């Protein structure tokens, strides 16, 4: 978090303004929320399929997240839905 505070004026200003405002009770402080976000990102990088619940393999999930090809995206989404809900293909 120190790196972001040093290199991002907006983040630094956000942290400085934190003491001026009182957040509603269920919301964590900015440092706690930021740390939770980084833990989530770390988990998603290591195991994207499990973190994002895609029902695909990690490689397929990475492909889905990076593809610019609509056919590939549709194929992967359908595969994930089929895996998750045990869907079978309908006859043509």
Please say whether the beta carbons of 77 and 69 come within 8 A: no
Q: What is the pLDDT of residue 15?
A: 78
Please say whether the beta carbons of 31 and 1 come within 8 A: yes
* Pick from 15, 85, 29, 92: nearest CA to 55: 85
Which residues of the chain, if any, have pLDDT below 50? Answer: none
Give the start-to-end residue ranges of the domains of the chain. 1-14+28-46, 47-92
Beta carbons within 8 Å of 11's beta carbon, 6+ residues apart: 4, 5
Q: What is the pLDDT of residue 80?
A: 94
Chain mean position to CA 15: 23
Q: What is the pLDDT of residue 92?
A: 66
Phi, psi of 54 (to 5 degrees): -90, -15
Using a cut of 0.75, tell me whether the model's pTM lies above it: no
What six digits make up the tokens of 29?
């402080």
């Amino acid at each position: 978090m120190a790196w972001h505070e040093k290199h991002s004026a907006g983040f630094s200003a956000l942290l400085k303004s934190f003491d001026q405002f009182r957040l509603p009770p269920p919301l964590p402080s900015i440092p706690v929320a930021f740390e939770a976000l980084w833990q989530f990102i770390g988990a998603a990088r290591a195991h994207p399929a499990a973190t994002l619940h895609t029902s695909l393999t990690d490689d397929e999930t990475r492909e889905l997240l990076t593809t610019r090809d609509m056919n590939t995206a549709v194929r992967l989404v359908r595969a994930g839905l089929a895996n998750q809900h045990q869907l079978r293909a309908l006859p043509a």
